[in-house]
Structure 1
Amino acid sequence: MPNPAILLVSENHSDVLEEQFWRYQRDYDLHTVHSATQALAVTEQIHQAGGQVALYVADSRLPDSHVLKAFHEWRSIVATARRLVVAHWDNFREDSEALRLGLAKGKFDAMLLMPRGVRDEEFHTAVTEMLSDWGSTVAAPEVDAVRIITPSIDAQALAIRDFLYRMGMPVRTYSPESPEGQEILAMLDGAEPKYPIVRPMNGDPVCAPTVHDVAISIYGAPSDIDLDQVVDLAIVGGGPAGLAAAVYGASEGLNTVVVEAEAIGGQAGTSSMIRNYLGFPRGISGMRLAQRARGQAIRFGTRFFTGWGVEGLRLGEGIHTLETGGGEIRARAVIIASGVSYRKLRVESIDSLVGLGVFYGAAMTAAKEMEDRDVYVVGGGNSAGQAAVHLSRFARSVTILIRRPSLAETMSDYLINEIEYNPRISVQSCAEVVDGGGEGRLDWIEIKNTDTGELSRHEAGGLFLLLGAEPQCDWLPEQVVLDERGFVLTGRDVPKETWRDGLPPGNLETTAPGVFAVGDIRAGSMKRVASATGEGASVVPLVHNWLEDLR
């Protein structure tokens, strides 16, 4: 198979672009054309030959088309390619102003100044980030750290693959008949294969594992926790709030551990592209953000224990104990950052097909299998919008179903603009899914109009359910007071009768001394990545104050 392609499109500056992009020619096929029409013809040739276009690099001024119209035409053939506008210095101020609205609506991914000389590393940093994003969300990895052998992608295989993706590990799926499959089957020494079979990083293959088994085979059993040591700070949950608390806590000298039941990153780790997070003008995927934060926390000394959920919290005088299936962790301060799960649809016929065309959350690795299918996304929040945009790169159509009259109340404006522009995405308001089914996997869904009660049946190749927050706080003791929806109360929101010495707890402190709550699990939180990281950072001074009081 040929290398993925990079198309350079410019009438007057193609020599400059060719000179700049020569460094990519080992891994990508470079095509230089001088007009939008020529680029369209090359795109069709690549597509018909079964190739892929990774990146379009288009001059802000083309001789035969407006650059945004050209992107629209190229995207109709290759929806997955990233789109970069480069403007000559003489035109940059005028063209950037004219194209600003198109960038806000998602008509292209980035706009850069055309390099004026060699080693313009700021320019190439942007290019490599775009190629990296394309490679992680579209292309199969060239080198796989983990191999999954299975005759078909079922719910179990998909859950494992999604977990590995969120942990930033390159993974590929092979059939048992493939050379790679035969090689791993031979390692079973004649034992009856039970699928899926997972072989992590040249280790021994594991038959029919759970996500928990895979985590142990890669990272080791989490029961290796040092049970004899009392740590300063134990954080329950490795989402944005927990990661921020870990970075700030460990960087300020606190002996810090993070306990995470699943993959680092929480719900945010499933987001294909977060565009409104401060400091990332071209956006960043939730997985990359989480893995960078994890590496940052480790650098300061944080220890991560993944694979065991916390089953209980025993409060003590100055030392609290977290109970997990792998042992106990004793800590002077505890931060609850366990986030929330997506609320269940609770339609039996739909829930019986989870993993078989029905997915809770974005299920990033399932998107590639939605090619030429009609897909439905249920939910009106940012996560649903991000999932719809990502799915539109593969699916024939994506329909967002919401109960409200519009997305305006629940979704960020930048996402609404991008959705309105995308011809593959439509929004159906006042709608809910009430039934669905199929032979072995989802084939159809039934939608109810909440205003009229009218029912309609639709073919569906995929159903992605992002229905809002549902807290999981059954492991907390009764001393930690929750609101009527099950979220953790903090600060002045706690009942007055639980105040100590006539004063409310600190802003992010719960009704249990030395126990804090941040992020989505906290009652009244904003349910945004940036606000979660802000709370994670803000809670650390409160932890310091608590530890000082203990001393």
Structure 2
Amino acid sequence: MGAPAVILASSTHAEELGGAFARYQAEYDVRLVRDEIAAKQVALDLLADGTQVALFVFDTDQPTERLHKLVAGTRKIVPTARRLLVAHVSQFFESNQTYRHAVTAGKVDALLLMPQGPRDEEFHGAVGEMLNDWNATVGTPYVESVRVISPERDPLTLSLLDYLDRVGIPAGLHHPDSDVAREVLARIPEDEGRWPVVESWKGWAGHCGSVRDLAVRLYGRPDEIDVDEVVDLVVVGAGPAGLAASVYASSEGLSTICLEAEAIGGQAGTSSMIRNYLGFPRGISGMRLASRARGQALRFGTRFYTGWPATALTAGSDGTPHVVHTDGGDVRARTVLVSTGVDYRRLGVDSIEALVGRGVNYGAAMAAARELAGEDVVVVGGGNSAGQAAVHAARFARSVTIVVRRPDLSATMSAYLVNEIEWNPRITVCGSSQVVDGGPDENGSLAWLELEDVRTGARERRDARGLFLLLGAAPECGWLPPELVRDENGFVLTGRDVPRELWVGDVPPADLATTVPGVFAAGDIRSTSMKRVAAATGEGASVVSLVHAWLELGTSHGPARTI
């Protein structure tokens, strides 16, 4: 397999476009053609030779109807490739008006002004983002930071690969009979004898029995913390709220520790592309957003410990600190932020639960989506996460069906995603329906599902090799003490939502303060939260001012601080 290809199509500005992409020729197979017919033929020829196509770049100098056919045709041929429209400066305003809807609907990934000279880094930054996203979700890693050795794609192996995807670590899967695997296996004891075996760039190699085991090997464990230290803030949960709090707290000089049970980014980190987050006009994947936020927090001094979920919280009193307990050690802190987010609710169908990891997945499971190329896939859920999972799966699957109990998606999904789904020919929406049964093939993997019309009770069986369940919010707060009050659904109460009889002096707690002094809540775990990435980020940032105010009181959890 050769270098992945970038195909450029321009009738009248070929010289300018070819010159702009000259810098990519060292690492990509850049092909320049004059019309849409040649572009399609070049793509077919490359695919026949086993070459991947990473990016199509179309000049808007072609007639609108022909350009629309070109976009649709190349999407059918190479659904995984990214698509970029470029307009010459003489045509940019007109092209922006004509093709704005195509960008909004996800038919193309971006519309950019064609470079008019060298070093147009704004243009190349956008191109780099698209190629970066393609390499992270489709391309085969050139450098494997982690190697996974396994004779089959069993549930544990797939869960490890999905975790590595979510934390942005390039990884490769190798059969034990391969040359790479033999080299790795030669360095571990012969009696290890268990799969999968994982080798890391850190130098260790051996069996990994769980995602938590892998996370601890990569990032360490909480008992490495000095037990005599009391930190200013411990953040429990590294989703958008926890990451924002970590960045702002540590940037303002607060000693901050962030604990995460699984992958940095939480549920939002599984989103293949978030297009409505402020400041990212071309969108950003949840993994990349979380990775950048983690790097930002690390730069300011936040310490992260991944793979050890909080098991209990002992609230401090009379000058003693709060203690967050984990199986790997305890963390003592003057203040605590609960930002553990939510998990997906279980479907509750025994036959489906028995196939989890064998075609059935809770969450987006981006690594699993790649394994379903050419297959029929079902996504259950009506929120933005489900929509993003369906769009991502449609890059690989033959068909994607979104199953929702409501008649359609309009009440629960952002309009931009609804439009993108309506346009995508591989995605259909099955409203007023639910999954009630499913079964395996002879190899024990999902083969079929049975859907039920919630209005009539009529049932239909259909082939399906993949099922992604994104069924709404189940709070992750069973580890919290009873004195931290929650609503009837288990979400943490804060501010004016706290029952009036628990207010002090008839004054409600601060907006993000809980019923335990010095303990705050932000993000999806908080009752009445918006369940949006931007909202969670805002709450995480806002809570830092409350932490400062609490530390300045100096009435408990250690001496007063000078801020």
TM-score, length-normalised on structure 1?
Answer: 0.98
C-alpha distance in structure 1 between counterparts of 2:221 and 2:208, whole Å:
18
Q: Which residue of 1 aligns with 2:457?
A: 453
Query: 1:66: how far off?
Result: 3.1
Q: 1:377 aligns with which of 371, 379, 382?
A: 379
Query: 1:216: how far off?
Result: 2.2
Query: 1:207: how far off?
Result: 1.6
Q: Which residue of 2 aligns with 1:432?
A: 434
Query: 1:189: how far off?
Result: 4.0
- The one-letter code of the counterpart of 1:469 is A
List gaps (5 residues or longer) in structure 1. none
Q: Which residue of 2 aligns with 1:531?
A: 535
Moved more, 124-133 or 153-162: 153-162
C-alpha distance in structure 2 between counterparts of 1:155 and 1:406, whole Å:
32
Asked whether the 8 Å contact 1:36–1:65 carries over to 2, the reply is: no
Q: How has the CA–CA distance of structure 1 residues 254 and 202 changed in structure 2, closer, same or farther, with 3 Å as cutoff? A: closer
Q: Which residue of 1 aligns with 2:286?
A: 286
Query: 1:51: how far off?
Result: 1.6
Total equivalences in the alignment: 551
- The one-letter code of the counterpart of 1:407 is L
Show CA shifts across 1:406-443 (max 9, x none): 10110000000000000000000011111111131100
Q: How has the CA–CA distance of structure 1 residues 13 and 524 changed in structure 2, closer, same or farther, with 3 Å as cutoff? A: same
Q: Is residue 483 from structure 1 mapped to residue 487 from structure 2 by the alignment?
A: yes
Query: 1:69: how far off?
Result: 2.1
- The one-letter code of the counterpart of 1:41 is Q
SS in 1 for 2:407: coil
C-alpha distance in structure 1 between counterparts of 2:223 and 2:176, whole Å:
33
C-alpha distance in structure 2 between counterparts of 1:164 and 1:208, whole Å:
13
Asked whether the 8 Å contact 2:260–2:309 carries over to 1, the reply is: yes
C-alpha distance in structure 2 between counterparts of 1:523 and 1:210, whole Å:
32
Q: Which residue of 2 aligns with 1:209?
A: 209
Q: 1:441 aligns with which of 439, 442, 445?
A: 445
Q: Which residue of 2 aligns with 1:342?
A: 344
Q: Which residue of 2 aligns with 1:502?
A: 506
Show CA shifts across 1:286-322 (max 9, x none): 0000010001011111111111111111111242111
Show CA shifts across 1:134-160 (max 9, x none): 000001110000000111111111111
Q: Is residue 410 from structure 1 mapped to residue 438 from structure 2 by the alignment?
A: no
Query: 1:131: how far off?
Result: 0.3
Q: Which residue of 1 aligns with 2:242?
A: 242
Q: Which residue of 2 aligns with 1:28?
A: 28
Q: Which residue of 2 aligns with 1:321?
A: 323
C-alpha distance in structure 1 between counterparts of 2:451 and 2:389, whole Å:
20
Asked whether the 8 Å contact 2:230–2:332 carries over to 1, the reply is: yes
Query: 1:502: how far off?
Result: 1.4
Query: 1:65: how far off?
Result: 4.7
Q: Which residue of 2 aligns with 1:106?
A: 106
Q: Is residue 517 from structure 1 mapped to residue 521 from structure 2 by the alignment?
A: yes
TM-score, length-normalised on structure 2?
Answer: 0.96
C-alpha distance in structure 2 between counterparts of 1:511 and 1:430, whole Å:
40
Query: 1:10: how far off?
Result: 0.2
1:393-408 aligned at under 5 Å gives the runs: 393-408=395-410
Asked whether the 8 Å contact 1:239–1:290 carries over to 2, the reply is: yes
Query: 1:48: how far off?
Result: 1.8
Identity of aligned residues (%): 56
Show CA shifts across 1:320-346 (max 9, x none): 111111111111111100001010111
Query: 1:187: how far off?
Result: 2.2
Asked whether the 8 Å contact 1:245–1:536 carries over to 2, the reply is: yes
Q: Is residue 17 from structure 1 mapped to residue 33 from structure 2 by the alignment?
A: no
- The one-letter code of the counterpart of 1:368 is R
C-alpha distance in structure 2 between counterparts of 1:311 and 1:287, whole Å:
26
Q: Which residue of 1 aligns with 2:557?
A: none
SS in 2 for 1:542: helix
SS in 2 for 1:434: strand
Show CA shifts across 1:193-229 (max 9, x none): 2111111116232124211211222223332022111
- The one-letter code of the counterpart of 2:240 is P
SS in 2 for 1:165: helix
Q: Which residue of 1 aligns with 2:229?
A: 229
- The one-letter code of the counterpart of 2:334 is R
C-alpha distance in structure 2 between counterparts of 1:214 and 1:64, whole Å:
51
Q: Which residue of 1 aligns with 2:546?
A: 542
Show CA shifts across 1:352-405 (max 9, x none): 111110000000111111101000000000000000000000000000000001
Asked whether the 8 Å contact 1:196–1:207 carries over to 2, the reply is: yes
Q: Is residue 161 from structure 1 mapped to residue 166 from structure 2 by the alignment?
A: no
C-alpha distance in structure 1 between counterparts of 2:227 and 2:415, whole Å:
48
Asked whether the 8 Å contact 1:11–1:63 carries over to 2, the reply is: no
- The one-letter code of the counterpart of 1:537 is A
C-alpha distance in structure 2 between counterparts of 1:306 and 1:262, whole Å:
6
Q: Which residue of 2 aligns with 1:128?
A: 128
C-alpha distance in structure 2 between counterparts of 1:252 and 1:204, whole Å:
36
Asked whether the 8 Å contact 2:188–2:206 carries over to 1, the reply is: no
Asked whether the 8 Å contact 1:3–1:28 carries over to 2, the reply is: yes
Asked whether the 8 Å contact 1:47–1:77 carries over to 2, the reply is: no
- The one-letter code of the counterpart of 2:25 is Q
Asked whether the 8 Å contact 2:222–2:331 carries over to 1, the reply is: no
C-alpha distance in structure 2 between counterparts of 1:547 and 1:222, whole Å:
23
- The one-letter code of the counterpart of 1:450 is V
- The one-letter code of the counterpart of 1:470 is A
C-alpha distance in structure 2 between counterparts of 1:167 and 1:221, whole Å:
17
Show CA shifts across 1:232-270 (max 9, x none): 111100000000011111111111111111110000010
- The one-letter code of the counterpart of 1:16 is E
Q: How has the CA–CA distance of structure 1 residues 192 and 308 changed in structure 2, closer, same or farther, with 3 Å as cutoff? A: closer
- The one-letter code of the counterpart of 1:168 is G
Q: Which residue of 2 aligns with 1:85?
A: 85
Q: Which residue of 2 aligns with 1:357?
A: 359
C-alpha distance in structure 2 between counterparts of 1:33 and 1:63, whole Å:
16
Aligned CA RMSD, in angstroms, stands at 1.1
Asked whether the 8 Å contact 1:322–1:329 carries over to 2, the reply is: yes
Show CA shifts across 1:9-33 (max 9, x none): 0001111111111111111111110
Asked whether the 8 Å contact 1:37–1:64 carries over to 2, the reply is: no
